[in-house]
Amino acid sequence: MLNFLPALLVGLIATALMVLNMLFWVPILLIFAVVKLIIPVKKMRMLIDPLLLRIAEAWIAGNSGWMRLTQRTHWDVEGIEGLNYRSWYLVNCNHQSWVDILVLQHLFNRRIPLLKFFLKQQLIRVPVMGLAWWALDFPFMRRHSEEFLKKHPEMRGKDQETTRQACEKFALIPTSVMNFLEGTRFTPAKHQRQQSPYKHLLKPKAGGMALALNAMGTKFQAILDVTIVYPDGAPDFWQFLTGKLKRVIVRVRPLPVPQHLVQGDYAADPAVREAYQKWVHQMWLDKDAQIESLLKVP
């Protein structure tokens, strides 16, 4: 660990190592992804997809390496023992910072299958990373405002169809489907604007989770309910790179898949929608109370 160096220099070293690690692995990913694109048959996908996942895991392991070298973080983690690398999980987590993703990847890498995130369509334009996400079959979603959908009703339901298509691919080999129920990063301004009933969380959006469960509910071994707490405040990405994340608390709680909801039609059946929302609301109440308790830990 580079504790003796100034924060700016630590940040520059961490950034350089992160970029070098990315530039090493992404071209390798793209080579195999292009082969899969050229030969779009299920047999080829079944051969190449596991290779792509192993490459991504090596990339994440490299990130964990530079994190250990450059960061001075104390990790307080419970609940990651006994997970099954060869199964399917639906992973749910509160969302405060882009750092959340590195925390999740660092802790779950090679403990469960690779985390697959649903991304905003605009992120495909991110240099290098956009291509990597495409190569790894991360779904890109086009989120439209209600005003836009009123003018273009033909676009309503497109994200749901994208989710279903992605889940069909995820069902072929063990996968961890990652879902931030809040749909965006927590900030005090968003919390106030929403008038959220939770102290530490934004209002959850159950639709994406319902679609994933409807498409893959019989595959999921469990729902992993993850809570991330930054006792000193959620860091931005540069603060993390410069070693200012002193402590992170993570709790992982396996939950059973709600089989009584899996076959329900969230979009068309008001009773199913209400049942999902009650289930998610209780989960969020428990998480909110857990965060409050963890923040009091000295």
Is 277 domain-assigned?
yes
Q: What is the 3-state secondary structure (H, E, C) of 270-293?
A: HHHHHHHHHHHHHHHHHHHHHHHH
Please state the pTM of the whole predicted model: 0.90
Is 27 domain-assigned?
no
Give the integer Cα–Cα distance in Å for 270 and 267.
8
> Helix, strand or coil for residue 146?
helix
If you search the block for the tokens 């983690």, which residue do you land on?
77
Both tokens of residue 218?
């019989």
**Residue 228, Cβ density class (10 Å: 0-12 exposed, 13-18 middle, ≥19 buried):** buried
Q: How far is CA 58 from CA 24, 36, 170, 203, in A?
A: 11, 20, 20, 35
User: Which 8-state DSSP code applies to residue 87?
Assistant: S
User: Which 8-state DSSP code applies to residue 227?
Assistant: E
Is 280 domain-assigned?
yes
Is 14 domain-assigned?
no
71 neighbors 17 (Cβ within 8 angstroms): no
CATH of the domain at 272: 3.40.1130
177 neighbors 216 (Cβ within 8 angstroms): yes
How many CB atoms are closer than 10 A to CB 247? Answer: 14
Tell me which residue of 245, 249, 227, 228 sits closest to 236, measured CA to CA. Answer: 245
> Helix, strand or coil for residue 221?
strand
Helices (H), 71-96: none
Is 1 domain-assigned?
no
Is 283 domain-assigned?
yes
| Radius of gyration in angstroms for the set of CA atoms belonging to the chain, rounded to a whole number | 20
- Domain encompassing residue 202: 73-295
Is 62 domain-assigned?
no
Per-residue pLDDT of the chain (298 residues; tens, 9 = 90+): 566 678 889 999 999 999 999 999 999 999 999 998 898 888 888 899 999 999 999 999 999 999 999 988 999 999 999 999 999 999 999 999 999 999 999 999 999 999 998 887 788 888 888 889 888 988 877 655 556 555 656 555 666 677 777 777 888 889 999 989 998 999 999 999 999 999 999 999 888 888 888 888 789 999 999 999 999 999 999 999 999 999 999 999 999 999 888 888 887 888 998 999 999 999 999 999 999 999 987 7
Give the integer Cα–Cα distance in Å for 107 and 21.
18
N-term to C-term CA, the chain: 24
Is 84 domain-assigned?
yes
> In the chain, how many domains are there?
1
Give the integer Cα–Cα distance in Å for 191 and 181.
14
